[in-house]
């Protein structure tokens, strides 16, 4: 069976079908999500926080995204793999964006790329799309701007900010993006954006009326340490389960219960 493409994504909006997206950063986890029927996997720069041990997405490099995107592509058969363009790999302009995105498509085998920004990134989106690279845009809270925000505040509150968000979403649609992530946006505004666009909106902390929903997989699975944002639903307590397994293994080794006869060659 063939991979999901951006044409399937467009058809889903026409049929009014909602779809799920998860992040993935390695082949094994990606294969589980692929076999579970998740149609779109994002190799997000959230790998900075939840896979590489950085404090934000800002330090993530194009090499890191390329290596882990290739792994996710190798681990999947059906999912559309979207690779995030990291901070510093597209802000210089459309030509830099094309050079970076080309690596992710050619070397890593990604089916699409994602970048942050609305009006401010529209020229980048336009050149990538006209060059044959599908682009998912990302507006509202854009975590690569953490130093400018001074944190991760909800976006689009107040009339002026709401109008700017609508303009940002329209700008990336007009530039040719096939979908747009809305992050940390009031549900009513996200619903208005969703109604006013012909491309699908992918919500994270943006209410139930978006066309699709995305979560960082380590948040979704309860693997992330400490507090998770209000918009996260944890479907598993993976951190606790895995920790329990590690403790049980340690006890067995210390107490001599592992390896047992059935694990032993003679
Ligand atoms: O990097 C990421 O995981 C993302 C999603 C939260 C949309 O950009
Ligand atoms: Na990201």
* Separation between Cα atoms, residue 42 and residue 100, nearest integer Å: 17
- Cβ of 196: how many Cβ atoms within 10 Å? 12
Does residue 125 form part of some domain?
Answer: yes
| Residue minimizing CA distance to atom 5 of ligand 1 | 44
- The answer to whether residues 214 and 264 belong to one domain is no
* Separation between Cα atoms, residue 207 and residue 205, nearest integer Å: 6
Determine whether the shortest distance from the Cβ of 214 to ligand 1 is under 6 A. yes
pLDDT of residue 205: 98
Lookup: tokens for 21: 């997206």
C-alpha 170: how far from chain center: 21
- The answer to whether residues 180 and 136 belong to one domain is yes
| Residue minimizing CA distance to atom 4 of ligand 1 | 44
- The answer to whether residues 86 and 175 belong to one domain is yes
Domain interval for residue 252? 238-266
Does residue 116 form part of some domain?
Answer: yes
Note the ligand closest to the C-alpha atom of 23: 1
* Closest of 118, 88, 85 to residue 103, by C-alpha: 85
- The answer to whether residues 255 and 155 belong to one domain is no
pLDDT of residue 143: 96
Does residue 178 form part of some domain?
Answer: yes
- The answer to whether residues 227 and 242 belong to one domain is no
Determine whether the shortest distance from the Cβ of 218 to ligand 1 is under 6 A. no
Q: What's the CA-to-centroid distance between 246 and ligand 1, angstroms?
A: 29
Does residue 95 form part of some domain?
Answer: yes
pLDDT of residue 139: 98
Sign of CA dihedral 85, 90, 91, 94: negative
* Separation between Cα atoms, residue 249 and residue 252, nearest integer Å: 5
Strand partners of residue 182: 139, 203
* Separation between Cα atoms, residue 196 and residue 128, nearest integer Å: 24
Q: How many domains does the chain have?
A: 2
- The answer to whether residues 106 and 203 belong to one domain is yes
Active-site residues, by number, are 183
Q: What's the CA-to-centroid distance between 84 and ligand 2, angstroms?
A: 6
- The answer to whether residues 10 and 131 belong to one domain is yes
- The answer to whether residues 220 and 252 belong to one domain is no
- The answer to whether residues 170 and 104 belong to one domain is yes
Does residue 80 form part of some domain?
Answer: yes
- The answer to whether residues 106 and 188 belong to one domain is yes
Q: Which residues surround ligand 2, an ion (CB under 5 A)?
A: 44-45, 84
- The answer to whether residues 255 and 190 belong to one domain is no
- The answer to whether residues 192 and 221 belong to one domain is yes
What CATH number is associated with residue 89? 3.20.20.60
pLDDT of residue 186: 97
Does residue 1 form part of some domain?
Answer: no
119-131 pLDDT, tens digit each: 999 999 999 999 9
- Cβ of 140: how many Cβ atoms within 10 Å? 28
Determine whether the shortest distance from the Cβ of 212 to ligand 1 is under 6 A. no
pTM (two decimals): 0.97
Q: What's the CA-to-centroid distance between 260 and ligand 2, angstroms?
A: 45
- Nearest ligand 1 atom to the CA of 23 is 3
Contact status, residue 14 vs residue 200, Cβ threshold 8 Å? no
- Nearest ligand 1 atom to the CA of 45 is 1
* Closest of 157, 169, 81, 154 to residue 121, by C-alpha: 169
* Separation between Cα atoms, residue 259 and residue 253, nearest integer Å: 8
In the chain (266 residues long), the average pLDDT of successive 10-residue segments reads 93 97 98 98 97 96 98 98 98 98 98 98 98 98 95 92 98 98 98 98 98 98 94 98 98 98 98
């Amino acid at each position: 069976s063939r991979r999901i493409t951006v044409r399937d994504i467009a058809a889903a909006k026409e049929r009014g079908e909602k779809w799920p997206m998860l992040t993935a950063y390695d082949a094994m986890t990606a294969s589980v999500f692929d076999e579970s029927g998740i149609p779109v996997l994002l190799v997000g720069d959230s790998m900075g926080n939840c896979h590489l041990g950085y404090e934000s997405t800002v330090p993530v490099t194009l090499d890191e995204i390329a290596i882990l995107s290739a792994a996710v592509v190798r681990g999947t058969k059906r999912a559309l793999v979207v690779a995030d363009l990291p901070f510093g790999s597209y802000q210089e302009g459309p030509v830099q964006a094309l050079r970076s995105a080309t690596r992710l498509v050619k070397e890593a085998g990604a089916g699409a790329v994602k970048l942050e920004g609305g009006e401010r990134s529209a020229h980048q989106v336009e050149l990538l799309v006209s060059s044959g690279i599908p682009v998912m845009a990302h507006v509202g809270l854009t975590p690569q701007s953490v130093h400018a925000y001074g944190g991760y505040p909800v976006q689009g509150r107040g009339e002026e900010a709401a109008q700017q968000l609508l303009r940002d979403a329209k700008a990336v649609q007009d530039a040719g993006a096939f979908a747009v992530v809305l992050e940390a946006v009031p549900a009513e505004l996200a619903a208005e954006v969703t109604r006013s666009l012909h491309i699908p909106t992918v919500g994270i902390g943006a209410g139930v009326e978006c066309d699709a929903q995305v979560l960082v997989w380590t948040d979704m699975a309860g693997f992330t340490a400490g507090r998770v944002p209000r918009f996260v639903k944890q479907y598993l307590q993976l951190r606790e389960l895995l920790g329990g397994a590690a403790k049980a293994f340690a006890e067995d080794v210390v107490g001599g219960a592992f390896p047992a006869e059935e694990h032993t060659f003679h």
